């Protein structure tokens, strides 16, 4: 289908933005968009995720005021721009851009994109925050794949400047231009990357996690030692296990598995049994209170 008849919105600050998925990434992206002046509609199928996102954003914004990084009163103003949607998705029809940040699963994302396309205006730009899936495959679920692109934010989204902008095979160049301009307006540094598994950063990062897990499995060093070595001697801000706990072991495992399969079972990207068992045990990291480290009150570390 041709994009010639479609006019894409200019995505200025008065354009409402929809965000689907209120987890780790969706809530952070909502904060960024609302801080830049947009009305934001944040949707999640899980009402608890929405409640937790609201409480998290309130706390974070209040803290920014306390630290003098936001003028007094701005916290309530920014939060007031975010509408939390559990089931009525009609407000999404007014959005010029929708950013999806749901589970890292191709079928789930394709179903969502096909459904979204029926609910939004013809020119609405649809973005996926996928870390490792094919943007082209997600877009293929749409009647108008030219409006779909990847906008890959990093965690935590309000603090990390890089955003990978990933056109799929059919994405209109105008959509890429609008998205780049918007990311700059949000204070981000957009980098266009080709639609290949893991794009730039997640591909480079796989061996960082993978080798750390192999070092652990081979009994060469334990979790805190590996993290300490990479922080203190390697110059990284966080060690690999601290980072996996921050990202979420479920997401990290899924990304590795996707890259491994997408690169035709390339051994360099093979996922780890240790991480697979952690996911099965619900030890997802900070978000469940326990991962490689125990974040619960009174806990001793590393997690036994």
Strand partners, 18: 41, 98
Residue 102 near ligand NAI by CB under 6 A: yes
Minimum distance, C-beta of residue 300 to ligand NAI, in the bound complex (Å): 26
Which residue's CB is nearer to ligand NAI, number 96 or number 248? 248
Residue 193 three-state SS: coil
Distance CA 195, CA 209 (A): 22
Minimum distance, C-beta of residue 254 to ligand NAI, in the bound complex (Å): 7
Residue 23 near ligand NAI by CB under 6 A: yes
34, 79 contact by CB (below 8 A): yes
Please confirm, yes or no, whether 164 is among the known catalytic residues.
Answer: yes
Minimum distance, C-beta of residue 65 to ligand NAI, in the bound complex (Å): 25
255, 261 contact by CB (below 8 A): no
Residue 26 near ligand NAI by CB under 6 A: yes
Minimum distance, C-beta of residue 3 to ligand NAI, in the bound complex (Å): 25
Query: Site for ligand NAI (CB under 6 A): how many residues?
Result: 29
Please count the CA atoms within 13 angstroms of the CA of 207 that sit on its side-chain side: 5
Which residue's CB is nearer to ligand NAI, number 8 or number 148? 148
Indicate the DSSP class of residue 255: H
Judged by CB under 6 A, the residue of 15, 17, 19, 21 near ligand NAI is 21
x/- mask, ligand NAI, residues 114-133, rule CB under 6 A, reads ---------------xxx--
Q: Kind of pairing, strands 97-100 and 82-85?
A: unpaired
Residue 289 three-state SS: coil
Residues 202-261 contacting ligand NAI, CB under 6 A: 247-248, 251, 255
- Residue 210 sits at the vertex; the CA angle it makes with 209 and 211, to the nearest 5 degrees, is 95
Residue 24 near ligand NAI by CB under 6 A: yes
Q: Which of 132, 146, 152, 242 is catalytic?
A: 152
Judged by CB under 6 A, the residue of 45, 143, 173, 301 near ligand NAI is 45
Q: Kind of pairing, strands 162-167 and 189-192?
A: parallel
Structure token pair of residue 245: 């706990």
DSSP letter string, 40-66: EEEE-S-HHHHHHHHHHHHHHHHHHHH
Q: 147 — phi, psi (to 5°)? A: -95, 0
Question: How many other C-beta atoms can be found within 10 angstroms of the C-beta atom of residue 19?
Answer: 32
Judged by CB under 6 A, the residue of 25, 78, 126, 259 near ligand NAI is 25
Distance CA 172, CA 148 (A): 8
Please confirm, yes or no, whether 12 is among the known catalytic residues.
Answer: no
Minimum distance, C-beta of residue 248 to ligand NAI, in the bound complex (Å): 5
Which residue's CB is nearer to ligand NAI, number 89 or number 303? 89
Which residue's CB is nearer to ligand NAI, number 129 or number 256? 129
Q: Under the rule (CB under 6 A), what is the footprint of ligand NAI?
A: 20-26, 43-46, 49, 101-104, 108, 112, 129-131, 152-155, 247-248, 251, 255
Residues belonging to the active site: 131, 152, 164, 202
């Amino acid at each position: 289908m041709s994009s010639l008849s479609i006019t894409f919105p200019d995505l200025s600050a008065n354009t409402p933005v929809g965000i689907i998925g209120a987890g780790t990434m969706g809530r952070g992206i909502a904060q960024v968009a609302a801080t830049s002046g947009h009305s934001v509609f944040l949707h999640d199928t899980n009402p608890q995720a929405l409640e937790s996102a609201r409480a998290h954003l309130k706390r974070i914004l209040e803290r920014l005021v306390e630290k003098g990084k936001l003028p007094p009163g701005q916290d309530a103003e920014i939060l007031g721009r975010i509408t939390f949607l559990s089931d009525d998705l009609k407000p999404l029809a007014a959005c010029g851009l929708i950013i999806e940040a749901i589970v890292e699963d191709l079928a789930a994302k394709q179903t969502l994109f096909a459904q979204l396309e029926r609910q939004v205006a013809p020119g609405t730009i649809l973005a996926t925050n996928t870390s490792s899936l094919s943007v082209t495959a997600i877009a293929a679920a749409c009647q108008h794949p030219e409006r779909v692109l990847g906008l890959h934010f990093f965690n935590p989204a309000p603090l990390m400047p890089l955003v990978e902008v990933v056109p799929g095979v059919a994405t209109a160049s105008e959509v890429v231009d609008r998205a780049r301009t918007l990311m700059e307006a949000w204070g981000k540094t957009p980098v266009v990357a080709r639609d290949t598994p893991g794009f730039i950063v997640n591909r480079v990062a796989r061996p960082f996690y993978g080798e750390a897990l192999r070092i652990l499995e081979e009994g060469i060093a334990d979790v805190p030692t590996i993290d300490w070595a990479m922080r203190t001697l390697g110059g990284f801000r966080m060690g690999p296990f601290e980072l996996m706990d921050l990202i979420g072991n479920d997401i990290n495992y899924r990304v590795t598995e996707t890259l491994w399969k997408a690169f035709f079972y390339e051994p360099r990207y093979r996922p780890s049994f240790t991480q697979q068992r952690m996911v099965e045990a619900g030890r997802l990291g900070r978000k469940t209170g326990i991962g490689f480290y125990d974040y619960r009150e009174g806990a001793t570390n590393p997690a036994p």
